[in-house]
């Protein structure tokens, strides 16, 4: 594993974090304070049998138990709670095929402000229902990113509302980073002077969680190595970082419905600075890991959330003997789809 | 809800708790000290959407995250760890269709002593595999209780080992009671002077967990009401307590495979003293609750563990506005059986 420099691009003191700022570790601490009492302090789960299987010490940050069922609430609430009263009065707009939409809707309900979510056709039923349950207005659109962007722009123009982008937003990144900050606090301090964890893994999609994970990990201890895991069928993040140029417009083909987004300019820049390495796994490997999490950890997570464990199991030699943190990103899986999903995994 | 008196049958001081003693609250505290560092301190889970659905405040003690996947480890470890060196040298014998067997096997492995588990034909594959994984010797037998008892007696005679009965054993009851003790500590203290919880529910099978739950709850605060939930297809506990006479030899017919045991003389006597009330639910109601726990709490539990939530949802009026604790007893469910199980629940 090669070393990486931690960017420390501090904003001018005293100014509120804006969507297009580059978030720093101080912003993560601010977010943690802002979320206290609103976000769940989710448990850090262990399983001896999974440790034995992986050959390392696994610490699972149970964000599938977060409010609205995913880490997304942390970013959404940090953005929504930090709006000025003027901004809040005009309401919030976002686009999401699922967890982020429900999270923003919940955060807006808690603050008592209007919320519109642009949802592409084909979004999982369970995720669409969660958005509706929180009382947000849903605007349907086509699946292509260009169609989502056009619909979002239309709603923004209509309402004058504030865009809370699912990942390409410094406030969202700083909020999502608090999952890793908490995980490192909960993992404690080994007696041998090593950091709380040697490696922290998160799934890579639009890059918000991964950017936050890298900023939080390096901020707590520069020796902690952030690593990403991504499905082979949506490997734009892997390819963008390898080629040093942002790839956009590809069609994702993966059952990991939470990982179909593309990196944005902000998250790409942050992850480039961290020289982030991305491990790829197949859908079958992701679903096998999801099944293991259900069997051994009794954690029902969505396929996207199992991608980092799949990467650890695929690259056991990379993690041998290490203390490894994994963000279990979300648990919003359609129970009726479980048999079909499990059929994708190689027989045990 | 009628009041009940808390029995306080103290043993002579200084003597170790024996299997056929009547356990008291001091034994529960002893067990908690004995288990510290061995049993997981499992989290207490909440879900606002389940609270809204139930019309009360639900606190779920996540014993499906306990070692070996069920609360059973607490009782097994308390019994096995309190054996004298002489007893330990002769090994331990138990009978179990599942979770208790795996728990005793694990406790014996931790203490480094021999373990034999008598397992009836038809025990779930996942539970049998867990017993084998812990290195215990498995002795197969027929399903009828008489056949289990005969096989167990044979092994005891052969080995001279110590019987650790799944529930009719004071050491097991005191250990299992620590789940409720912890739950009450974790639930905290409402500002209005009410107890940590108003009601605590556990599933009723052989009565070990329920006896422990009643002893711990009354010991912490006599105002806390213990309540049992049992499947209609295995309602021997309900009928025994209602009729004031122990019913034995019925054939259980329920998908809740952890709740097919019958009360024993010790657990029956304890539950009679507590004037325990038992709420009955159908298999369909249990599975619907299991599905809700998966969807809303992201907790994958076995059908048996969902029976108390099913009882709360069936008798909403009984629990309106109360702080309700529920022991999620175990999570050892065969994932391949999920579609068939879910098919039992009424359509949502």
The domain limits of chain A are 25-69+170-344, 72-163
Average pLDDT over residues A301-311: 97
- Nearest C-alpha neighbor of A181 from the set A228, A206, A227, A218: A218
Strands B278-281, B225-231: pairing kind: parallel
- The per-residue pLDDT of chain B, averaged, comes to 91
Would you list the DSSP string of A86-127?
HHHHH-EEEE-SSHHHHHHHHHHHHHT--EEEEEETT--HHH
Asked if the ipTM is above 0.85, the reply is no
pLDDT tier at A9, thresholds 50, 70, 90: very low
Task: Among A49, A69, A291, select the one facing B298 at the smallest CB separation.
Answer: A69
Contact in structure between B263 and B246 (CB atoms under 8 Å): yes
Q: A298, B301: Cβ pair inside 8 Å? A: yes
Backbone angles phi, psi at B31, to 5 degrees: -60, -40
Average pLDDT over residues B266-274: 97
Contact in structure between A55 and A315 (CB atoms under 8 Å): no
Lowest average pLDDT, out of A12-26, A154-168, A243-257, B34-48, goes to A12-26
Average pLDDT over residues B10-37: 85
Question: pLDDT value at position B12?
Answer: 56
Question: pLDDT value at position A5?
Answer: 33
pLDDT digits (tens, 9 = 90+) for A59-85: 999 999 999 889 999 999 999 999 999
pLDDT digits (tens, 9 = 90+) for B219-231: 999 999 999 999 9
Q: Taking each helix axis from N to C terminus, what angle separates B72-81 and B25-35, rounded to the nearest 10 degrees?
A: 90
Q: How far apart are CA B76 and CA B80, in angstroms?
A: 6
Contact in structure between B158 and B152 (CB atoms under 8 Å): no
Contact in structure between A99 and A70 (CB atoms under 8 Å): yes
Q: How far apart are CA A56 and CA A233, in angstroms?
A: 27
Q: B295, A126: Cβ pair inside 8 Å? A: yes
Residue A332 has pLDDT above 60, yes or no: yes
Helices (H), chain B: 25-35, 48-54, 72-81, 85-90, 99-111, 125-133, 145-159, 170-187, 208-220, 236-243, 265-273, 283-296, 307-314, 316-319, 338-344
pLDDT digits (tens, 9 = 90+) for A192-215: 889 999 999 999 999 999 999 999
Percent share of chain B, pLDDT over 70: 95
Question: pLDDT value at position B76?
Answer: 97
Q: B300, A301: Cβ pair inside 8 Å? A: no
Q: How far apart are CA B61 and CA A191, in angstroms?
A: 31
Q: A294, B300: Cβ pair inside 8 Å? A: yes
Question: pLDDT value at position B200?
Answer: 98
**Spelled out in words, what is the top-level CATH class assigned to the domain A25-69+170-344?**
alpha beta
pLDDT digits (tens, 9 = 90+) for A104-136: 999 999 999 999 999 999 888 888 888 998 999
Question: pLDDT value at position A333?
Answer: 86
Question: pLDDT value at position A346?
Answer: 57
Average pLDDT over residues B19-39: 93
Question: pLDDT value at position B338?
Answer: 86
Q: How far apart are CA A201 and CA A205, in angstroms?
A: 13
Partners of B49 on chain A (C-beta within 8 Å) are 133
Strands B137-141, B115-120: pairing kind: parallel
Question: pLDDT value at position B125?
Answer: 83
CATH code given to domain B72-163: 3.40.50.1100
Q: A300, B300: Cβ pair inside 8 Å? A: yes
Residues contacting B32, CB < 8 A, separation 6+ = B178, B181, B182
- Nearest C-alpha neighbor of A71 from the set A190, A167, A188: A167
**Spelled out in words, what is the top-level CATH class assigned to the domain B25-29+39-69+170-344?**
alpha beta
- Asked if A188 has any chain B CB less than 8 Å from its own CB, the reply is no
Dihedral over Cα of B1, B5, B6, B7: its sign: negative
Average pLDDT over residues B53-77: 95
Lowest average pLDDT, out of A310-324, B41-55, B170-184, goes to B41-55
Question: pLDDT value at position B346?
Answer: 58
pLDDT tier at B13, thresholds 50, 70, 90: low
Question: pLDDT value at position B11?
Answer: 56
Question: pLDDT value at position A13?
Answer: 57
pLDDT tier at B14, thresholds 50, 70, 90: low
Laid out side by side, the sheet with A162-163 consists of A137-141, A115-120, A92-95, A162-163
pLDDT tier at B170, thresholds 50, 70, 90: very high
Q: CA geometry: angle at A64 spanning A60 and A69, to 5°?
A: 165
**Residue matched to tokens 């009836």:** B120
Question: pLDDT value at position B5?
Answer: 33
- Asked if A315 has any chain B CB less than 8 Å from its own CB, the reply is no
**Residue matched to tokens 């009940």:** B4
Structure tokens at A239: 């390819």
Backbone angles phi, psi at A282, to 5 degrees: -80, 165
- Nearest C-alpha neighbor of A322 from the set A230, A229, A190: A190
Partners of B341 on chain A (C-beta within 8 Å) are none
Residue B124 has pLDDT above 60, yes or no: yes
Question: pLDDT value at position B336?
Answer: 84
Question: pLDDT value at position B10?
Answer: 44
- The per-residue pLDDT of chain A, averaged, comes to 91
Q: A291, B65: Cβ pair inside 8 Å? A: no
Return the higher-pLDDT residue of B9 and B231: B231
Question: pLDDT value at position A7?
Answer: 33
Question: pLDDT value at position A8?
Answer: 33
Residue B122 has pLDDT above 90, yes or no: no
Contact in structure between A303 and A290 (CB atoms under 8 Å): yes
């Amino acid at each position: 594993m090669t070393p990486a420099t931690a960017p420390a691009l501090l904003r001018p003191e005293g100014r509120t974090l804006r969507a297009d700022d580059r978030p720093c570790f101080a912003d993560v601490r601010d977010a943690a304070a802002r979320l206290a009492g609103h976000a769940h302090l989710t448990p850090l789960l262990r399983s001896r049998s999974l440790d034995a299987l992986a050959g390392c010490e696994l610490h699972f940050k149970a964000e599938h138990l977060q409010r609205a069922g995913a880490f997304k609430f942390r970013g959404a609430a940090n953005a929504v709670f930090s709006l000025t009263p003027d901004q809040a009065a005009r309401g919030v707009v976002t686009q999401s095929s699922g967890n982020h939409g429900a999270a923003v809707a919940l955060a807006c309900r808690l603050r008592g402000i209007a919320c519109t979510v642009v949802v592409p056709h084909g979004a999982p039923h369970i995720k669409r229902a969660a958005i509706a349950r929180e009382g947000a207005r849903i605007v349907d659109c086509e699946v292509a990113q260009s169609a989502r962007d056009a619909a979002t722009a239309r709603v923004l123009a209509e309402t004058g509302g504030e865009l809370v982008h699912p990942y390409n937003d410094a406030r969202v990144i700083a909020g999502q980073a608090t999952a890793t900050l908490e995980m490192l606090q909960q993992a404690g301090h080994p007696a041998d002077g090593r950091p709380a964890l040697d490696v922290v893994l998160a799934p890579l999609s639009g890059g918000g969680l991964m950017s936050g994970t890298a900023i939080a990990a390096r901020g707590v201890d520069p020796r902690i190595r952030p690593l990403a895991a991504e499905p082979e069928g949506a490997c734009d993040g892997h390819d963008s970082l390898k080629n040093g140029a942002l790839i956009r417009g590809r069609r994702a083909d993966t059952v990991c419905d939470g990982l179909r987004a593309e990196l944005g300019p902000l998250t790409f820049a942050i992850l480039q600075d961290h020289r982030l390495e991305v491990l790829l796994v197949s859908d079958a490997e992701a679903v096998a890991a999801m099944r293991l999490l259900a069997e051994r950890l009794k954690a029902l997570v969505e396929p996207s959330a199992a991608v980092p464990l799949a990467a650890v199991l695929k690259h056991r030699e990379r993690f041998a003997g290490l203390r490894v943190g994994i963000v279990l990103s979300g648990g919003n899986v359609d129970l009726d789809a479980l048999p079909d999903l499990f059929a994708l995994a190689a027989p045990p």
